[in-house]
Amino acid sequence: MTLFLILLACNLALGLLFTLIASTVERAERTVPAACSPLDLGTGLRARDVMLTLVRLLAWIVAIGLVAVTLSPLEARPVLASPNLERAGAYALFGFLLALSYPRRWGLALLAAVALAGALEAAQGLTASRHGRVVDFMVKGGAAMIGGLVAQGLHLLLARRTAR
């Protein structure tokens, strides 16, 4: 339980740090004032910024869920489908949301998703009722990368469509 709380606190701290750094850099890179934007919500807040914040929040909520489910006792883990399908779906969703959350740093977001998969798989070896395996890490890391690449492809497609 102590290991779970430590990893949860580290995950939250890294998520907040990553979000603060990315939002600070994005604010500095803006060239068009928010008041000139057609998506201005009236207080200098653009609809895109609100949506990006919501997607980032959702990505880190999914990360917290992954920590909780991965490190909880095996009996407490919910079962919806086969374990590999559950792993792949959860990490693909996490990779997708993380890459959408940080579109200018999507490669770093993919690296963070794979690193989380590896760290949690290694942490399972420290718990009494769970076991970390390389095959599970490959499923989780591969699914996170696929999810992130799909998000980047979607981002590029939408950017190309709006440029026309």
What is the arithmetic mean of pLDDT over 80-102? 91
How far apart (Å, rounded) are the C-alpha atoms in residues 59 and 109? 11
Quick one: what percent of the chain has pLDDT higher than 70?
A: 72
Give the tens place of pLDDT for each residue, 1-17.
Answer: 445 555 555 565 566 55
What is the arithmetic mean of pLDDT over 15-37? 53
What is the arithmetic mean of pLDDT over 32-42? 46
Give the tens place of pLDDT for each residue, 103-145.
Answer: 888 889 999 999 999 999 998 888 777 788 889 999 999 999 9
The predicted pLDDT at position 39 comes to 44
Between 3 and 82, whose confidence is greater? 82
Residue with tokens 């919910």: 78
| Start-to-end CA span in the chain (Å) | 53
What is the residue-wise DSSP string for 44-56?
A: S-BHHHHHHHHHH
CB 64 within 8 A of CB 8: yes
Give the tens place of pLDDT for each residue, 67-78.
Answer: 988 888 777 777
Name the DSSP class of 38.
T
Q: Where are the domains of the chain?
A: 2-163
CB 66 within 8 A of CB 116: yes
The predicted pLDDT at position 132 comes to 80
How far apart (Å, rounded) are the C-alpha atoms in residues 86 and 95? 14
How far apart (Å, rounded) are the C-alpha atoms in residues 132 and 9? 21
Task: Decide: residue 31, CB within 10 A, 0-12 exposed, 13-18 middle, 19+ buried.
Answer: exposed
Whole-number average pLDDT of the chain: 78
- The answer, as to whether pTM is greater than 0.85, is no
Of 54, 55, 37, residue with least CA distance to 46: 37
What is the residue-wise DSSP string for 51-94?
A: HHHHHHHHHHHHHHHHHHHHHS-GGGS--SS-HHHHHHHHHHHH
